[in-house]
Amino acid sequence: MERTLVLVKPDGVQRGLIGEVVSRLERRGLKLAAMKFMQMDRAKAEEHYGEHVDRPFFGGLVGFITSGPLVAMVWEADGAVEIVRNTMGTTNPKDSPLGTIRGDLAVNIGRNLVHGSDSPESAQREIALFFQPGEILDYARSNDSWIIEP
């Protein structure tokens, strides 16, 4: 089953939106595989966002993501990466459709509440940054046949 990394960023924690984000992903039908409340240090943040190192917003982004606690999660589904991305909405909340997390709950690109991996390859890399293999749980979900056609 495909896995993706989701973060409720420090703005989401401060605004009391952890439950809202988790609830939307649960209700969509994604399956939670791992969850951790933590604060990223500078080294981890620079590695996580390494693709953006040369962008003008990199310093602000690293400062923001390390500024307070966040929730890191692994969610599973067939096509989990794409499903999470379209549940989150577009990078800039200003352009994000209503009905998405960013479109409903955010207004600013630098405070867009959530992170979701952008490809299965990124997901593997990012999940390994946040979780040991033993922290990602494989378990039966009793309502699976009502969410996924067997």
User: Within 13 Å, how many C-alpha atoms sit on residue 6's CB side?
Assistant: 31
Least distance from C-beta 146 to Mg ion, angstroms? 32
Q: Quick one: 19 or 63, whose CB is closer to ligand DAT?
A: 63
Task: Identify what 72 binds: ligand DAT, Mg ion, none; CB under 5 to 8 Å per kind.
Answer: none
Q: Any contact of residue 14 with ligand DAT (CB under 6 A)?
A: no
Residue 8: closest CA among 90, 114, 94 = 114
Torsion sign (Cα): 71, 68, 113, 110: negative
Q: Is 21 in contact with 114 (CB distance < 8 Å)?
A: yes
Least distance from C-beta 115 to ligand DAT, angstroms? 5
Note if 115 is an active site residue: yes
* DSSP letters spanning 51-115: GGTTSTTHHHHHHHHTSS-EEEEEEE-TTHHHHHHHHH--SSGGGPPTTSHHHHH---GGG--EE
**Contact pattern for ligand DAT over residues 21 through 60, marking x by CB under 6 A:** -------------------------------x----x---
Q: One of 102, 115, 123, 126 is an active-site residue; which one?
A: 115
Q: Any contact of residue 112 with ligand DAT (CB under 6 A)?
A: yes
The stretch near ligand DAT (CB under 6 A) out of 14-22, 108-116, 130-138, 142-150 is 108-116
